[in-house]
Amino acid sequence: MSNYEKIKNEMINKNFPIKKVSLGEIKHLGENVYSIDGKDFAFTNESEILLDKKLDISIKTKRQLAENGGEKEIAKLRNWMLSRYKKDKILVSADENGNIANLLPLKSEIIPPSSFFQMVELFAENNDYSITSAERISSTSLSVKLKSKYENVIDVAKNEEFDIGGVIMNWDFTKIELNDFYIRMICTNGAVSLEETPIMQIEDMSIDSIKKISYLSEKDKIRLTQRFRKYADKTLEAIESNASLEEVEIAKNCLHHHGYGVSKDIAERLVNLNELEAKVEGIEVPSYRIRTDRNVWDLYNLITYTATHQAKEYEMKRPDEVIRAASGFLNRKRDIPMYIDI
């Protein structure tokens, strides 16, 4: 049985502990304990981060409140924001210990995993793609990679060939997304488009939505090519650019903040941040003006390689988020002007 068929069977037959609730039904009681519709649940650190993101509560705001009034002030702010957004609907899901492990914004109907697998197979059939692998992103989300049956390898630079004939379909109970997916031939790193928006996204299983995501039109294929051209341009720029100290810090954050499990110490070690910071200790220059010996393209490939090949080793819970963050890192305006060397 293939990896895809195994995960498909498991997910279709699984009993998911999920519940649709409005934010007004949630109350923060203290520490990591919340009341949902009158029952108390512990929230994991990841689910609390997702809740704060939904409520527009920044890390900086929480830090300031913790310094001035402690955890009680943070709880007060959360409860006030929960009442402000009380009509918004979300899906909450519990882990095997009964803790709330994930929150998903719900705009329309719930999309069951069986519908997702039907869309994957319909897309493969309609567009001459083969299903290459499936992966659980979390207990309530999936990712399936597909590859065109027609080879499409493009030479971007010396020793930098990419197979751009892939797509990736992501699912959670609230949506199905279709994204482009590139493979760096030299080491099979996975990469996605630099565009923040997916090629397609549906939030229900209406006939129009099914038609939209199950077939690549000629216009869609042109968009895919255009999106890769942007990626290729930024690749060439990155190959020729040394990273600023600030860019090394951003690379560290791609692993630590977006990986949900990769410790700060491990992320700093992977990008060699501590050694670089030691070299500039006492220098009063903004970090974006300090050029390091780290190459931007090497940093980008370190991030994607870690997400593609070493996620389990570093306890990375969201490699898909890390790959998306890596695209943001590659796409940002380079800190090229006004460097000083270290």
pLDDT value at residue 6: 93
Structure tokens at 177: 């997304």
Tens digits of residue pLDDT in 250-295: 999 999 988 777 889 999 999 999 889 888 888 888 898 889 999 9
Boundary (domain end) residue, out of 239, 268, 289: 239
Query: Does 37 lie in the same domain as 86?
Result: yes
In sequence order, what are the residues at sequence separation of 6 or more whose Cβ sits closer than 8 angstroms to the Cβ of residue 43?
32, 33, 34, 51, 99, 100
pLDDT value at residue 209: 94
Query: Does 140 lie in the same domain as 164?
Result: yes
Tens digits of residue pLDDT in 71-104: 889 999 999 999 999 899 999 988 888 899 888 8
Provide the 10 A C-beta neighbour count for residue 7: 20
Domain assignment present for 13: no
Query: Does 299 lie in the same domain as 227?
Result: no
Domain assignment present for 3: no
Query: Does 147 lie in the same domain as 96?
Result: no
Domain assignment present for 328: yes
Domain assignment present for 9: no
Query: Does 301 lie in the same domain as 234?
Result: no
In sequence order, what are the residues at sequence separation of 6 or more whose Cβ sits closer than 8 angstroms to the Cβ of residue 18?
91, 92, 93, 94, 110, 140, 173
Least Cα distance to 198 among 182, 180, 184, 216 occurs for 180
Residue with tokens 């719900």: 106
How far does CA 25 lie from the centroid of its chain?
A: 28
Boundary (domain end) residue, out of 79, 105, 131: 105
pLDDT value at residue 215: 92
pTM of the model: 0.77
Query: Does 142 lie in the same domain as 94?
Result: no
pLDDT value at residue 109: 82
Domain assignment present for 81: yes
Query: Does 129 lie in the same domain as 59?
Result: no
Alpha helices in 240-311 (DSSP H): 245-259, 264-271, 273-279, 296-309
Domain assignment present for 8: no
Residue with tokens 């990712």: 143
Domain assignment present for 168: yes
Mean pLDDT by 10 residues, the chain (342 residues): 87 87 93 91 90 91 85 92 92 88 84 95 96 85 91 85 90 92 78 76 93 92 89 91 94 88 90 89 86 92 89 83 90 71 59
Boundary (domain end) residue, out of 239, 255, 287: 239
Total domains in the chain come to 3
Please answer whether residues 102 and 139 qualify as being in contact, where contact means their C-beta atoms are separated by less than 8 angstroms.
yes
Going through 111-174 in order, the beta strands assigned E by DSSP cover 129-138, 141-148, 153-157, 160-172
Query: Does 130 lie in the same domain as 227?
Result: yes
pLDDT value at residue 332: 92
Helix (H, G, I), strand (E, B) or coil at 36: strand
Domain assignment present for 54: yes
Query: Does 94 lie in the same domain as 126?
Result: no
pLDDT value at residue 338: 44
Domain membership of residue 76 as a residue range? 18-105
Query: Does 148 lie in the same domain as 77?
Result: no
